[in-house]
Structure 1
Amino acid sequence: MHRLLLIDDDEALAGPLAQYLARFDLQLEAVTRPSAALARLAAERFDALILDGMLPEMDGFEFCRRLRAGSEPWRDIPVLMLTARGDLTDRVVGLELGADDYLPKPFEPRELAARLQTILRRTRLTPVAAPAAPASAARLSFEGLEIDTARREVRSERGLLELTGTEYELLLLLAREPGRVFSRDDILNRLRGQEAELFTRAVDILVSRLRRKLEPLVALKTLRNAGYCFALPEKFAP
């Protein structure tokens, strides 16, 4: 049984949604304010968050940004944004801030369950408390750049780089196979576990933001009609 925390100020949503998700072995609990969510996260363990975009105290986008930027153990918890703000710009912003998926309201409960199962399946494949890997395997070293996969940190000669969760996942995906070309659909399917649909534009924006943070240390090359690749050769052979 996976435990989910819904953060939504619509109190009428939680009951029916909890009953439906229970069919899929998903236990849903709910709060209506971000402050209450943080208190629950500090006291209990949840496997994923369902986060509304329009909330009191702060909106869901700001909550997601603070969650990912913090140092608390739950900063890497999977987040599915569920909001009436469903235009493409808001979806891109949510993904860039570190959300794992985005579902606009009104939604079909079966689609929500499917997306949650995909997120949780991906988390099981890369558990947070995995056995310690050898130091050489836990780091990817390049000229002027080091990726610490155990700490999920990226350091350059200028110090620790501030990356969102999605930016880090994209960098890790490309850096593990330097020179390999990943199409936009490849990137979305690998990072999100879903069909690309309208999100191909999100990849372009995400790569652009990551490129600005990495240059001039790393070249994220754009290959016309093909995709993107990590162009910097590894400093140390595997």
Structure 2
Amino acid sequence: MKVVWIEDETELLKECADYLRREDIEVHGAATLSEAEGLIREVKPDLLLVDWMLPGGESGLDLCKRNEREWGLPIIMVTAKGDEFDKVLALELGADDYLTKPFGLRELGARMKAVLRRTSKGNVREDGRHREDVRLQRGLLLLDNDKYAAQLEDRRLELTRTEFMLLWKLASHPGRVFTRTHLMDEALGDDYIGYERTIDSHIRNLRKKLGDHEAEKPYIETVYGIGYRFSEEAR
């Protein structure tokens, strides 16, 4: 596994990198976003870790946005910000997980491996073979699980990896009701380390992008007291 970690606390980065290298993880550290950009192009990492606050007024959230546009890599936000609002914001902007300082080195390693297992599952069939050109059409909505791409009519939807995985799971079973816990287990993997209520944030974001709030027949329906389902009457 190769990792690029954007962190300006050099002692923290060194301690964590020493531990991860003993676990056969190749770590490349960067103190700024501009430095990280060069490393990402050169190293071609499997995973990004980024601090929220960086020198020069830069933010790890900026990297999350750019990652969604350009690299599409799994990303873990590592920061001292521990409020639920901050965690939800990071997840909505494309982070796959969120680790609050201070943290244990074993927890760090476990979360990194869990994120990679989870993100790799999306491209594997139940029989263990990789998906190729797997598409799903629901009314005007077209999903491509090979490319993690979603299109509504002639408009491409800019979805995070987590949003796509949730939408794919729901759209694969129209009418079936999923609890929040079931969605985490089924769509994100049983090794997902997070909070049930973050599912609500991802669903809320999905609905905005699908235009469900203005639609007479929304794609994603709330089943109050239980969870969510994909409409059987796709528009």
TM-score (norm. length: structure 1): 0.85
Gaps of 5+ in 2: none
Gaps of 5+ in 1: none
Look up the match of 2:230. Answer: 230
The offset of 1:36, in angstroms, is 1.1
Contact 1:175 1:230 in 2 (8 A): yes
Q: 1:154 to 1:7 in 2, by over 3 A?
A: same
Paired residue secondary structure (2:48) = strand
- Superposed CA deviations along residues 81-134 of structure 1, whole A, max 9, x for unmatched, are 100111100100111111111011111111111111111223443459x8662x
The offset of 1:32, in angstroms, is 0.4
**Where do 4+ consecutive residues of structure 1 move more than 4 Å?**
none
Look up the match of 1:14. Answer: 13
Paired residue secondary structure (1:113) = helix
- Superposed CA deviations along residues 11-42 of structure 1, whole A, max 9, x for unmatched, are 11222111111232222220101111111111
What aligned pairs does 1:206-221 form with structure 2 within 5 A after superposition? 206-214=202-210, 215=212, 216=215, 218-221=218-221
Look up the match of 2:53. Answer: 54
- Say what the alpha-carbon RMSD is for the aligned residues: 2.2
Look up the match of 2:64. Answer: 64
The answer to whether 1:186 aligns with 2:186 is no
Q: State the one-letter code of the partner of 2:59.
A: D
Contact 1:31 1:37 in 2 (8 A): yes
Distance in 1, matches of 2:54 and 2:80, equals 11
Shifted more, 155-164 versus 87-96: the winner is 155-164
Look up the match of 1:114. Answer: 110
Contact 2:97 2:193 in 1 (8 A): no
Q: 1:195 to 1:6 in 2, by over 3 A?
A: closer
The offset of 1:162, in angstroms, is 2.3
Contact 1:188 1:195 in 2 (8 A): no
Look up the match of 1:45. Answer: 44
Look up the match of 1:80. Answer: 76
Look up the match of 2:93. Answer: 97
Q: 1:44 to 1:99 in 2, by over 3 A?
A: same
Identity between Structure 1 and Structure 2 (%):
37
Q: State the one-letter code of the partner of 1:194.
A: Y
Q: State the one-letter code of the partner of 2:42.
A: A
Shifted more, 155-164 versus 176-185: the winner is 155-164
Give the total of aligned pairs. Answer: 224
Distance in 2, matches of 1:139 and 1:96, equals 24
Look up the match of 2:148. Answer: 152
Distance in 2, matches of 1:9 and 1:203, equals 31
